[in-house]
C-alpha cells in the first residue's frame, strides 16, 4: 500500500510520501535507543511536565489537527475535534496519575518477613523502545493511548502509522518535538507493513503494541513471539448490544444508532450485533431503522453530516461484499445495503440494518467495519447470552437492562473485556481497555496499560 493521503470523498491522491529506506530506519532506531538511555533516568515530574506541554500544544492546534484527520480518513469533523479533546484529556490524566500508578509496590509485611528480607519492593522500571503499529480509524487517539503511558513509563516510542494517515503521523512527531521531548523520544517511521518485521527483530526494540486487524495482529505477534518480545494486541471486535424488556427503550435506540455509526461505523468497540428480546423486538426494530434512515450521509467537513465516506476503497468493497453475502443467503435488508445514489464519488455507504441473520453469513462471524447493523431476536436472557458469545471476538459488550439480577448474570457470563450496562462502550483513561479471544490480549489505559511496557523489578534487601 502506498504511503499517501487519499481523499476518501473523491479517491483523489492529495500527497504521497516515499517510505524510509533501510538507512533512515536504522538511524531512527539508533536515535530511539540513544534517547532511551537518558530519558529513562528523567524524573517522573519532569516527564509529567513534558506530557502536559504536549497536551497544551495539541489543544491549541485542535482545529488543524481535526481537519487533517478528516482529510485523510473521512470522519465527520465534529468527531475529529472530539478525538483531539479526548487525547488532550488522556495526556493530562497520564501526566497527573502516572507518578502514583508507577510508585513502588510494597508487598505485605508478613510476606517480606517470610522471605527473610528486611525489605522488598517492586519497581516499575521502563522497558525500552516500544514500536507502536497503529491504524487509521482513530489516527490520533490510538497513538496517544499507547504513547502517553509509554512516555510516562520512561520508554521511547517509534510509530508505524497506517499508510493512509501519513500527515497525522507527521504532526504527531512534530507535536512531541515542539513540546521539547529529547530528540528520539517519539519518532514516526514512514514505512510499509512489510518493513515492520525487520524493526521488531532489531535488538534495540523491546516491545510492540498493535491496534488493527486480526491478520496484522497475527503477523506482528508471530514475529514478536519468535523474538520473545512483549506484545500487546488490540484487534477487532463484533460487540453485542443486548436489549432486554426492562430497558429504557428510547434511550437504548438512540444509543444504538450512535454506537453503530460513530466514526462512519469504523470502530473496534462499536456495537455491531443488536440482540433484542422478543417482547420489545418490534418496537426496537422500527425505531432503530427509523433512526438509521434519518442519518445524514455526506461530506465529513459539513457540520450536519452524521456519516462520511469509509476510509479506504478496499474497506468499502469489503463491507459491500459482506452485505451482499448476507443478502444472497437470505438476510432481510431493512434499510441501506447500497452506495448512496446522491454520493456517486468517494467511498460512501448507506447506514444499513440487516435481520434474519444466519450463522453461515459472513456478517455473523466477521467484524463489519462500516455502518452496518445486524439484528437478532431472542426469547430470553439465556438465548441473549448465547447469541452475544457466539462470535470469535471478545472486545467489549453492551447490555440494556435495569434488572439487577440480569445485570449480575451478564457481568458473569458475557465473554468480553468489558460490559457496559445501559450505555455503550467508550474508552476512558482510568479504565482498562482490551479484549479476549480474537480481539487480542493485554490492556491499554489505566494503571494496567501503563505497566504493560515496564519491567516490574523485584528489589529484595537482606
Complex with ligand NDP: residue 1 or 302, whichever CB lies closer: 1
CB of 322 to ligand NDP, least distance (A): 10
Q: Return the residues of window 259-288 that contact ligand NDP according to CB under 6 A.
A: 268
Query: Which is closer to ligand NDP, CB of 236 or CB of 291?
Result: 236
Kindly state whether residue 212 participates in binding ligand NDP, applying the rule CB under 6 A.
yes
Site residues for ligand NDP, 366-395, by CB under 6 A, read 367, 369
Q: Which is it for strands 205-211 and 230-234: parallel, antiparallel or unpaired?
A: parallel
SS3 annotation, the chain: CCCEEECCCCCCEEEECCCCCHHHHHHHHHHHHHHHHHHCCCCHHHHHHHHHHHHHHHHHCHHHHHHHHHHHHCCCHHHHHHHHHHHHHHHHHHHHHHHHHCCCECCCHHHHHHCCCCEEEEEEEECCEEEEECCCCCCCHHHHHHHHHHHHHCCEEEEECCCCCHHHHHHHHHHHHHCCCCCCCEEECCCCHHHHHHHHHCCCEEEEEEECCHHHHHHHHHHHHHCCCEEEEECCCCEEEEECCCCCHHHHHHHHHHHHHHHHHCCCCCEEEEEEEHHHHHHHHHHHHHHHHCCCECCCCCCCCCECCCCCHHHHHHHHHHHHHHHHCCCEEEECCCCCCCCCCCCCCCCEEEECCCCCCHHHHCCCCCCEEEEEEECCHHHHHHHHHCCCCCCCCEEECCCHHHHHHHHHHCCCCCCEECCCCCCCCCCCECCCHHHEECCECHHHHHHHCEEEEEEEEC
4 near ligand NDP, rule: CB under 6 A = no
Q: Which is nearer to ligand NDP, 269 or 388 (CB)?
A: 269
* Cβ distance to ligand NDP smaller for residue 163 or 209: 163
Residue 435 touching ligand NDP (CB under 6 A): no
Of the residues 28, 268, 285, 367, which is catalytic? 268
Q: Does 172 bind ligand NDP (CB under 6 A)?
A: no
Say which of 72, 87, 231, 234 is annotated catalytic: 234
User: Binder to ligand NDP among 50, 127, 133, 387 (CB under 6 A)?
Assistant: 133
Q: Considering the complex, what minimum distance in angstroms separates the CB of residue 130 from ligand NDP?
A: 15
Instruction: Based on the residue annotation, tell me whether 234 is a catalytic residue of this protein.
Output: yes
- Give whichever of 128 and 236 is closer to ligand NDP, judged by the CB atom: 236
The correct pick among 90, 101, 144, 162 for binding ligand NDP (CB under 6 A) is: 162
Site for ligand NDP in 330-359 (CB under 6 A): none
134: contact with ligand NDP by CB under 6 A: yes
Given candidates 6, 29, 33, 196, which one binds ligand NDP under the rule CB under 6 A? 196
Cα 135 to chain centroid distance, Å, stands at 8
87 belongs to the catalytic site? no
Site for ligand NDP in 213-242 (CB under 6 A): 213, 216, 219-220, 235-236
Query: Which candidate, 255, 257, 245, 283, places its Cα nearest to that of 379?
Result: 245
User: Smaller CB distance to ligand NDP: residue 165 or 410?
Assistant: 165
Question: Contact between 249 and ligand NDP (CB under 6 A)?
Answer: no
- Does residue 160 touch ligand NDP according to CB under 6 A? yes
d(CA 381, CA 364): 20
Total residues binding ligand NDP (CB under 6 A): 25
C-beta of 134: minimal distance to ligand NDP in Å? 6
| C-alpha grid cell, residue 36 | 532511551
Rounded (5°) CA angle 179-181-187: 105
Does residue 211 touch ligand NDP according to CB under 6 A? yes
Q: Is 193 in the site for ligand NDP (CB under 6 A)?
A: yes
CB of 314 to ligand NDP, least distance (A): 7
Question: For residues 8 and 126, which CB has a smaller minimum distance to ligand NDP in the complex?
Answer: 8
Instruction: Please state the closest distance from residue 266 (CB atom) to ligand NDP, in A.
Output: 7
Point out the residues that are catalytic. 234, 268
Q: What residue ranges bind ligand NDP (CB under 6 A)?
A: 1, 133-135, 137, 160-163, 192-193, 196, 211-213, 216, 219-220, 235-236, 268, 315, 318, 367, 369
Amino acid at each position: 500500500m502506498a504511503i499517501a493521503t487519499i481523499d476518501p470523498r473523491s479517491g483523489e491522491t492529495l500527497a504521497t510520501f516515499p517510505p524510509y529506506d533501510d538507512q533512515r530506519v536504522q538511524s531512527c532506531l539508533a536515535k530511539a535507543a540513544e534517547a532511551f538511555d537518558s530519558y529513562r533516568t528523567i524524573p517522573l515530574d519532569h516527564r509529567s511536565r513534558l506530557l502536559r506541554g504536549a497536551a497544551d500544544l495539541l489543544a491549541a492546534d485542535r482545529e488543524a489537527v481535526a481537519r487533517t484527520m478528516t482529510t485523510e480518513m473521512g470522519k465527520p469533523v465534529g468527531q475529529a475535534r472530539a478525538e483531539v479533546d479526548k487525547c488532550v484529556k488522556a495526556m493530562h490524566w497520564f501526566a497527573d496519575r502516572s507518578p502514583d500508578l508507577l510508585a513502588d509496590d510494597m508487598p505485605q509485611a508478613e510476606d517480606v518477613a517470610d522471605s527473610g528480607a528486611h525489605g522488598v519492593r517492586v519497581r516499575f522500571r521502563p522497558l525500552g523502545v516500544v514500536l507502536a503499529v497503529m491504524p487509521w480509524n482513530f489516527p490520533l487517539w490510538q497513538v496517544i493511548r499507547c504513547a502517553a503511558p509509554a512516555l510516562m513509563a520512561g520508554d521511547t516510542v517509534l510509530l508505524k502509522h497506517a499508510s493512509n494517515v501519513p500527515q497525522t503521523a507527521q504532526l504527531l512527531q512534530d507535536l512531541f518535538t515542539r513540546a521539547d521531548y529529547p530528540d528520539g523520544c517519539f519518532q514516526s517511521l514512514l514505512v510499509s507493513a512489510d518493513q515492520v518485521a525487520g524493526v521488531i527483530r532489531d535488538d534495540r526494540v523491546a516491545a510492540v503494541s498493535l491496534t488493527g486487524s486480526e491478520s496484522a495482529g497475527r503477523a506482528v505477534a508471530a514475529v514478536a513471539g519468535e523474538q520473545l518480545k512483549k506484545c500487546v494486541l488490540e484487534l477487532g471486535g463484533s460487540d453485542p448490544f443486548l436489549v432486554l424488556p426492562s430497558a429504557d427503550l428510547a434511550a437504548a435506540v438512540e444509543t444504538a444508532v450512535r454506537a453503530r455509526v460513530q466514526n462512519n461505523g469504523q470502530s473496534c468497540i462499536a456495537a455491531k450485533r443488536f440482540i433484542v428480546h422478543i417482547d420489545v423486538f418490534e418496537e426496537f426494530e422500527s425505531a432503530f431503522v427509523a433512526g438509521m434512515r434519518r442519518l445524514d450521509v455526506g461530506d465529513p467537513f459539513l457540520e450536519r453530516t452524521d456519516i462520511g465516506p469509509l476510509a479506504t476503497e478496499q474497506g468499502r468493497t469489503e463491507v459491500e461484499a459482506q452485505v451482499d453475502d448476507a443478502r444472497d443467503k437470505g438476510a432481510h435488508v431493512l434499510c441501506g445495503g447500497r452506495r448512496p445514489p446522491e454520493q456517486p464519488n468517494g467511498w460512501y455507504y448507506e447506514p444499513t440494518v440487516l435481520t434474519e441473520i444466519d450463522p453461515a453469513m459472513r456478517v455473523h462471524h466477521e467484524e463489519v467495519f462500516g455502518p452496518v447493523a445486524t439484528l437478532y431476536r431472542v426469547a430470553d436472557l439465556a438465548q441473549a447470552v448465547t447469541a452475544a458469545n457466539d462470535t470469535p471476538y471478545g472486545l467489549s459488550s453492551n447490555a440494556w437492562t435495569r434488572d439487577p439480577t440480569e445485570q449480575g448474570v451478564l457481568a458473569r457470563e458475557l465473554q468480553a473485556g468489558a460490559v457496559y450496562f445501559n450505555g455503550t462502550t467508550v474508552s476512558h483513561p482510568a479504565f482498562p481497555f482490551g479484549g479476549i479471544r480474537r480481539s487480542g490480549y493485554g490492556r491499554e489505559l489505566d494503571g494496567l496499560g501503563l505497566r504493560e511496557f515496564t519491567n516490574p523489578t523485584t528489589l529484595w534487601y537482606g
